[in-house]
Amino acid sequence: MKLKSKIIAVAGAALVMAGALTACSSDADQADYNIGVAAESFEVQRTIVGINGITGETIFFAEGRCSFEYPAVAKDSGEVASRRFDVTCKYGPDEYRKHVFILGDQDSVVVSQEVAIDVSEYHTRIVLKPQNAIPEFDIMVGEGK
């Protein structure tokens, strides 16, 4: 019963924080945020294409229910923007694949959402998965050195 109380408390705190953070956002910002949450849950069908800027050739292609990460760099940090582009796609009920792309100086990426999805422009979407509160352990036993 203690774990259930903790999960409810964390969920309540998350709802309050999300409400405070999104109270001043525009309709477009809220819809964008909710699409991002849907994509992280593999609910958004996307086509991701990498293009060589010199030759115009397609250098990579991914299609499916994909989430992508492009590490952001703060403008005042002095760091060079990362050329790494990570794509994680769901291909079946229990089949996931991660693709890591390293872009060159002349390469570009196009990420297209192929199908419209229904998201709210007024309410923040929060996904709670109580099963994630309990970690899954892998135990490896073998000869130690």
| pLDDT digit string, tens, across residues 30-56 | 888 888 888 888 989 999 998 998 999
pLDDT confidence of 96, banded at 50, 70, 90? very high
Is pLDDT at 99 greater than 60 in this prediction? Answer: yes
| pLDDT digit string, tens, across residues 111-121 | 888 888 888 87
pTM, two decimal places: 0.61
CA–CA separation, 131 vs 51, rounded Å? 39
Is pLDDT at 15 greater than 90 in this prediction? Answer: no
Average the pLDDT over 106-127 and give the result.
82
Q: For residues 101, 102, 105 and 111, what is the CA-based torsion angle, rounded to 10 degrees?
A: 20
Do 35 and 117 form a contact (C-beta atoms < 8 A)? yes
Is pLDDT at 20 greater than 80 in this prediction? Answer: no
pLDDT confidence of 105, banded at 50, 70, 90? confident
Give pLDDT, residue 17: 54
Q: Quick one: which of 97, 91, 117, 110 has its CA closest to 39?
A: 117
